[in-house]
Amino acid sequence: MSSARLGVLAGAVLLLVLASTVGWYAFRVVLKSGPGCVVTAVSGTGSGDYTLTTTQADNAATIAGVGMRMGVPDRAVSVALATAMQESGLVDLAGGDRDSAGLFQHSAKPDAYANWEPEARALASALAGERAAALSCHDLATTTAAVTELGTTSISGTHGRARGWAFSGWLVAHAARLGIEQVSFGGDTWTASSGKWSPASVATDVLSLREVADSRS
C-alpha cells in the first residue's frame, strides 16, 4: 500500500475516533451558551455536572415520570435512563426498523450501558426528588414581558418534599416546551430568565409556577 493511501486511511481512522469521542462526551461537557439543561452530579461520585439539550431533558423527565407513576424503584428509573442514553442519546428517533426507533432500541454493545451510570443516577435522583434543585435549564426561548400565574398547590403527606422536588424537576425539564417561566418549591425558585435555582424569601412546601403568556392569544 502506498504512503499516500496509508495517509488517507490514517486520517479516516482519526476522524472516526474523534467523532466517537465527541459523541461520548456530549453529556459530559457543560456548554457555555445556548439553550440547555444541567444536572448536578451525585455527591461523592467525583464527577462534574452533566449537560443535556432541552429535548434530552424533556425526554428524561418523561421516562422518570412514567417510572414514578408505575411505582418502580429509583434504581429501575436509573437503568431506563442509562439505556436510553446509550441507545438513542435521549432523542426520539424516527428512522430505523421496528427495533431501532424511539428512545429505546436494541444496542449492539450491551456492555456500554454501565458507562452511563453516573449520568443516569444523577438524572434519576434529581427527577425523583431525592435531591433538591438538582436540575436547571438555561437560555430558554421565553420572554418575561407577560406571564400568567398558574397558582399554587401544597405538597404534603408521606415523602411530600421528595414528590414536590420531583414535580419541580419535571416542570423545569419541560419548561422550554410548555413555556414555563418560573417554578418555586422548598425555599428555592427557578426562573427561565436566570436559568438557575436561587433561594426564595420563604421556605414552604407549596409548589407554584408561572407560565409565559401565549402571544397568539
- Give domain limits for the chain: 28-212
Beta bridge partners of 16: none
Per-position b or e across 60-96, b if 16+ CB within 10 A of its CB: bbbbbbebbeeeeebeebbbbbbbbbbbbbbeeeeee
**Mind listing the pLDDT tens digit for each residue in 135-171?**
999 988 654 444 454 455 555 444 578 889 999 999 9
Cα separation of 217 and 68, whole Å? 34
pTM over 0.75: no
Q: How many CA atoms lie within 13 A of 65 on its CB side?
A: 15
* Residue (of 137, 159, 120) closest to 42 by Cα position: 120
**In the predicted structure, residue 18 carries a pLDDT above the cut 50:** no
**In the predicted structure, residue 210 carries a pLDDT above the cut 60:** yes
Tell me if residue 40 falls in helix, strand or coil: coil
Whole-number pLDDT of residue 215: 41
**In the predicted structure, residue 68 carries a pLDDT above the cut 80:** yes
Average pLDDT for the chain: 73
* Residue (of 24, 28, 39) closest to 86 by Cα position: 24
